[in-house]
Amino acid sequence: MTDAGVLHCRTVVRYGIGSVGTAAFGTLPGLVLVYYLTDTLGVPALAAGIVIAVAKIWDVVIDPAIGFVSDRHAEARGSRRPLMLLGAAALPAAFLVTFAVPGALPTAAQALWVAVAFLLSATAFSLFQVPYIALPAELTDDYDQRTRLLTVRVVVLALGILVFGAGGPALRDAGSSEAVGYLLMAAVTGVLMGVSMWVASRSADDARRVVVGDAPVSPAVAYRAAIAALRRSRALRMLLGAFVLQGLATGLMLAGAQYIATWVLDSESAVSVLFAALIAPALICTPLWGAIARRWGKEVGFVAATALFALAAVSLAGLWWSSGPWVYGSVAVAGAAYAGMQALPMAMLPDVIGHDEATHGESAAGTIGGVWTAGETSGMALGSVLFTLALAIGGYISSDEPDAVIQPGSALDAMIVGFSVLPAVLALVSVPLILRYPLRRTTIETMNDKVVAGD
């Protein structure tokens, strides 16, 4: 970072590369883990949802504590890098073990194996992700530079989702058996996650030093700090609430993609085409959302992106009547909107952290990053759980031999509702929260001017 707050390209690139790991861990578990449980291991749909939920409830518990510890490390050691490196080192192995379930185990033991391994994976991911989320507020104080940094991150994120969303199932299908295919997918993905997270950790060296106070490190203090941050920052409550609701919406669609491809589009491999249709427009449109933010404000673009996503999602209810190529057009519009729904709130979060530091008198970037990560990951995961609940209500038949199963019409209806109507409703419910978000460009610029003037 320069004295004027302009970010070096090196910093932007290093930080953006971290989204390769974020894309992989955010995409593949949501895309294939529930399907792996129900249609490879034969775990009932509701039980599969519980497996995912347990790991994400654990995320909610540990993320604020990780954020609190990250703040203390940032002050004492001058960098958030140690925790990021620990997560980068541990995640590849834990992710591989998640998909290395011994075939000889009973179904219940297989579900338990996945639950424990995925919990360890989620823990390792949080060790990286929480400080990673905190960094933008410390890399630059400039309103537009933050948008630039997070726009690059979301472009990389979108590219990563495309690669892993399409390539992950392709790697799985390339194996000599389902078990070998899932191991191949997990091994390649794990290596790429670890390398990208290591590169991103280097960007922590460019962050400014922070002052976080002298509170002792303990779980109780960490959770009190997280609650205090939520209480004092209306901007955080509004932004996080909207993002969690949208995480539920996108989590539903992500979990549903494989089921829609297999049972509605009658092509298991169609999930790769769905992802291409979703992410290719996101790659193109992410810079456009950045331009909208610079011209009219981040919050205006966020509302527009959300409304467009809801419109695209509800149009997919047409799957009840037809499953033709038009589906990919609706998914493409959702992808264009998804780019804004990712880039803009991520660019708004550093403003929230900076505003909190200016008004509170000390940095809570890690604590707020922990709260944000807990909300983000639990929203996506609970979207998967909500989809499995819809499947259970619809009478979905789980089997380790899915080719021998004919799903009832009610199960197909549940898939379509979970892939279209529910995401649209959740997106629309988030709009009033965005409208109540209080920070504008003028707020941030005035605050920064006061800091420079020493007021």
Q: Quick count: other Cβ atoms within 10 Å of Cβ 82?
A: 17
Q: Are 122 and 67 in contact (CB under 8 A)?
A: no
Domains and CATH numbers, the chain: 13-209+219-448 (1.20.1250.20)
Counting other chains too, the contacts that 441-444 makes at CB distance below 8 Å and 24 or more residues apart are 441/143, 441/297, 443/355, 444/143, 444/351, 444/354, 444/355
Q: What is the pLDDT of residues 235-284, one digit of tens each?
A: 999 999 999 999 899 888 887 887 888 888 877 667 778 877 877 887 78
Percent of the chain with pLDDT over 90: 30
CA dihedral 323, 328, 333, 335 (to 10 degrees): 120
pLDDT at 324 over 90: no
On whether the CB atoms of residues 60 and 240 are closer than 8 A, the answer is no
Residue 394 belongs to what H/E stretch? none
Give 109 or 346, the one with higher predicted confidence. 109
Q: Is the pLDDT of residue 343 over 90?
A: no
pLDDT at 192: 95
Provide the pLDDT for residue 3.
44
Q: Is the pLDDT of residue 11 over 60?
A: yes
313: nearest Cα among 252, 224, 356:
252
Lowest mean pLDDT among 31-35, 72-76, 142-146: 72-76
Summary mean pLDDT of the chain: 84
Statement: residue 442 has pLDDT above 70: yes
Question: Using CA atoms, how far apart are residues 107 and 320, in angstroms rounded to an integer?
Answer: 33
Euclidean distance between CA atoms 383 and 374, whole angstroms: 14
Q: Which of 17, 45, 7 is nearest to 410 (CA)?
A: 45
SS3 (DSSP) at 51: helix
Whether the per-residue pLDDT at 217 is higher than 80: the answer is no
Angle at 374 between CA 370 and CA 378, to 5 degrees: 170
Given this model, what pLDDT does residue 189 score? 94
More confident residue, 164 or 312: 312
Decide: 37 and 114 in contact? Cβ < 8 Å: yes
Predicted confidence band of residue 1 (pLDDT cuts 50, 70, 90): very low
| CA–CA distances in Å: residue 28 to residues 79, 90, 234, 271, 305 | 30, 17, 33, 12, 24
The maximal CA–CA distance of the chain, rounded, in angstroms, is: 72
CA distances from 5 to 138, 240, 448 (A): 10, 26, 11
Distance CA 330, CA 332 (A): 5
Q: How many CB atoms lie within 10 A of CB 2?
A: 9
Tens of pLDDT, residues 263-277:
888 776 677 788 778
Dist CA 374 CA 394 (whole Å): 30
Residues 6 or more apart whose CB falls under 8 angstroms from that of 287 comprise: 151, 155
Q: Is the pLDDT of residue 312 over 90?
A: yes
How far is CA 334 from each of CA 301, 309, 378, rounded to the nearest angstrom? 15, 5, 21
Residue 378: burial class (beta carbons within 10 Å; 0-12, 13-18, 19+) = buried
Average pLDDT in the 422-448 region? 88
DSSP for residue 454: T
CB–CB of 37/48 below 8 Å? yes
Residue 149's pLDDT is what? Answer: 86
**Reported confidence tier of residue 188, pLDDT bands at 50, 70, 90:** very high
Asked if 205 and 82 touch (Cβ cutoff 8 Å), the reply is: no
- CA pair distance 166, 28, nearest whole angstrom: 10
d(CA 216, CA 92): 32
Residue-level pLDDT at 321? 87
Reported as a pLDDT band with limits 50, 70 and 90, residue 308 is: very high
Looking up tokens 């970037």, which residue turns up? Answer: 365
How confident is residue 15, by pLDDT bands cut at 50, 70 and 90?
very high
Please check whether residue 360 is in contact with residue 232, taking contact to mean a CB–CB distance below 8 angstroms: yes
What pLDDT does 218 receive?
Answer: 60
Report residue 214 CA to chain centroid gap. Answer: 32
Neighbouring C-beta atoms of residue 110, cutoff 10 Å: 20
What's the burial of 361, exposed, middle or buried (CB within 10 Å: 0-12/13-18/19+)? exposed
What DSSP string runs through 180-249?
A: HHHHHHHHHHHHHHHHHHHHHHGGGGGSPP---------HHHHHHHHHHHHHH-HHHHHHHHHHHHHHHH
Would you give the end-to-end CA distance of the chain in angstroms? 23
Residue 330's pLDDT band, with cuts at 50, 70 and 90, is very high
